[in-house]
Structure 1
Amino acid sequence: MPPPRLAPLLDQFDFARTRLANRLTGPYLDSGDGSETPVSPMTDAEYHWPPVPGHWSVRRRADGPGPRATHLAGTGEWGRDAAPYPQPVPPPFTTIAWRLSHLSEMLALRADHTSGTHTKTRDDYPIAGDVTTAVAAFDAGATAWREALLTVDDAALDTVGYCTYPHGSDAESPFLEIVWWVNQEVLHHGAEIALLRDLYRQTR
């Protein structure tokens, strides 16, 4: 049994994860009132769709980074546009591919830095160049994070730096705050991806 303080955050994570997964693949999504709204699976064209110029996305490594990016993060044939902090101002607009890759990477790495090897970095994370691989990566990352949460006890929730993830505030925050932060990442990036799907459909 998870610690009582963790249980509502686990429920929220499960809801946000399922809602985003359904929004990506269909055949139905939760409209918010309990009814099922049909939705088609996302295509590769939609995954990479740039609604505005100057965007950040996932690109073939051979093509190099996009505008204002200094490198392509991750490993493999594809990489995700990135730049060191402080990042460009105003922030570049990002595609579904960028947002989903960022989200999946964060889940997988935080899982590793909670109950895994505590060694993986963004350089180790393979970047998906197609939607099928990207959806599978999101599912794998979400599963790994949830399994990591089930290993913690009540004392861990109050431990500062319990998660050693190197790309966030984990070293300064109690683990319970990190769990909350991951939930809001899934919720807000899920909402962004849903909006981009709506915009793509309307432009077609």
Structure 2
Amino acid sequence: MMTNQRLEPLLEQYDWATERLLTRLAGPTSNSGDGSDVDVPVLTDAEYFWEPVDACWSVRRRADGPGPGAIKLIGAGEWGRDGAPESPWPPPVTTIAWRLDHISETLLGRANHLGGDRTFDRATYESRPDAAGAIERFRHAAAGWRQVLLSVDEADYDRTGLSSYPYGSDAEETFSTIVWWENQEILHHGAEIALLRDLYVHHAQ
């Protein structure tokens, strides 16, 4: 499918960021930055839940309740993600589980509220309690968001409130601003996940 000149650079950035994060999570290799590939082991459940400092926010069994500083566990089902009505300051350190779950949830929710039936609700969202399931969910969510981006007519790019996603400022933003915001979410959380993976290797030695 042809993309127009306004969406193309954002889409290229998005594709690079999602592919980079997937290879850092599941390998088998990742570009080291100097043109050579390094081996990347698949993310394990132990690493997925690893808490590098005290009072981390994570994905937890609902029966155990929220972690330190959290008020609730977001979503439905047996597991949920630590959260609070207002983001605390300073923000807590979060696990790979928390970060990956957060990214996937926003991708799924925004795709539904931009190009779907607009029924997505955090109250029915279910967090994944395993690394393999979380990676697959991110892969699915990323593909779904990309498909929705391609379905938006260029005439709507500057329209405010095109997305009705209720857990951000979407009602006040244009399409291109939302696309940019979702890109930077994947870029910065992806970098944080990559750093946690590097730290985990040294922690385990």
Q: Shorter-chain TM-score category? A: over 0.9
1:89 aligns with 2:89: yes
Cα contact 1:69–1:82 (8 A) shared by 2: yes
Deviation string 1:88-124 (CA, Å, 9 cap, x unpaired) is 2221110000000000000010000110011212112
Which amino acid is 1:126 matched to?
E
TM-score normalised by L of structure 1: 0.97
Distance 2:6 2:89 in 1: 38
Aligned to 2:191: 191
Q: Which runs of 5+ in 1 are unaligned?
A: none
Q: Distance in 1 between matches of 2:64 and 2:180?
A: 37
What residue number does 1:119 align with?
Answer: 119
Inter-partner Cα distance in structure 1 for 2:150 and 2:7 = 9
| Equivalent residue number for residue 12 of structure 2 | 11
Does residue 102 (structure 1) correspond to residue 102 (structure 2)? The answer is yes
Alignment of 1:1-204 (within 5 A): 1-85=2-86, 87-204=87-204
- What is the letter of the counterpart of residue 53 of structure 1? D
> What RMSD in Å do the two structures reach over aligned CA positions?
0.9
Output the amino acid matched with 1:201: V
CA distance in 1, matches of 2:128, 2:170: 26
Structure-2 separation of matches of 1:73 and 1:79? 5
Distance in 1 (alpha carbons) for counterparts of 2:142 and 2:35: 24
CA distance in 2, matches of 1:63, 1:99: 20
Report how far residue 69 of structure 1 moved. 0.8
What secondary structure sits across from 2:81 in the alignment? strand
SS at match of 2:117: coil
Distance in 1, matches of 2:143 and 2:11, equals 12
Identity of aligned residues (%): 57
Report the number of matched residues. Answer: 203
CA contact (8 A) 1:19 1:29 kept: yes
Contact 1:2 1:153 in 2 (8 A): no
Q: Name the CA distance, whole Å, in 2 between partners of 1:181 and 1:44.
A: 29
Structure 1's consecutive aligned runs of 4 or more residues displaced over 3 angstroms after TM superposition are: none
List alignment gaps of at least 5 residues for structure 2. Answer: none
Q: Which piece of structure 1 moves more, 98-107 or 114-123?
A: 114-123
* Mapped contact 1:3–1:153 kept (Cα < 8 A): no
Deviations 1:31-81 (A, max 9, x none): 223221111111100000001011100000111000111110012111000
Q: Secondary structure at the match of 2:151?
A: coil
SS at match of 2:80: strand
SS at match of 1:111: helix
**Which string of whole-angstrom CA distances, capped at 9 and with x for unpartnered residues, describes residues 116-173 of structure 1?**
0112121121101100110011011101100100101111211101011111111111
Measured in 2, the distance between the counterparts of 1:38 and 1:193 equals 16
Amino acid at match of 2:177: E
Find the residue that maps to 2:200 and give its secondary structure.
helix
